[in-house]
Amino acid sequence: MGDLRQAGKGAWLNGKPIRPSTIDQMIDAMLITGFRFQFFNTPRSNLPYFNRVMLEAQCVRRLGSAALDLAYVANGRVEGFWEIALNPWDVAAGILIIREAGGIVSTLHGEGHLLKGSVDILAANPIIFPKLQTILDEGMGLTASVDQAAESAEQELSFRKTGLAISLAAILLVVVALQLKIRSLHPPA
């Protein structure tokens, strides 16, 4: 029982304390994110955030496990992590580990709860956290723009489908009229 860890006692790996990285510039930061199974054409797509962050960071990776992603932030292997629409059980242990290691973790835009319902999460070392949060907040506008563009595209597609249906109906009427005209010129014997 001597190896049992408690909240408030720090985060440890193989008997040694862990800390987040000390990278202080976004251009030097390696970040991690994740995507929902179906993320295109959804109101809460992570794609606009990903595109925005890619312009600022050294790189953005996708590993596939929020728990592992959060542990990597706590241990300083990467500088930050964000993701949309996780479950509380995906992030609960990672939140504790990051906080115990000295990192910062919060909801993506500072609203809602980290352990209730659908979780939008942001975690990073203390220096990168506010910078990444600002970039992601700017990405909110991009998300709205993408949602509007998707809605406009859906409306355009709907109009095109309607137009196509009308065009096909008109063509069908012309074909029927031509057949009637041909029959009237050449009655069956």
**pLDDT digits over 33-54, tens only?**
998 766 556 667 888 899 999 9
- The pairs formed by 71-74 with CB atoms below 8 angstroms and a separation of 24 or more are 71/97, 72/32, 73/20, 73/32, 73/98, 73/103, 73/123, 73/124, 73/125, 74/11, 74/18, 74/20, 74/98, 74/100, 74/101, 74/103
Phi–psi pair at 30, nearest 5 degrees:
-100, 125
What integer best gives the mean pLDDT of the chain?
83
Spatial CB neighbours of 113, under 8 Å, sequence gap ≥ 6: 107, 119
For residue 95, what pLDDT band results from cuts at 50, 70 and 90? very high
Dist. CA 82–CA 66, nearest whole Å: 9
Give 13 or 39, the one with higher predicted confidence: 13
- pTM for the whole structure: 0.71
Whether the per-residue pLDDT at 97 is higher than 70: the answer is yes
**Residue 2: predicted pLDDT:** 43
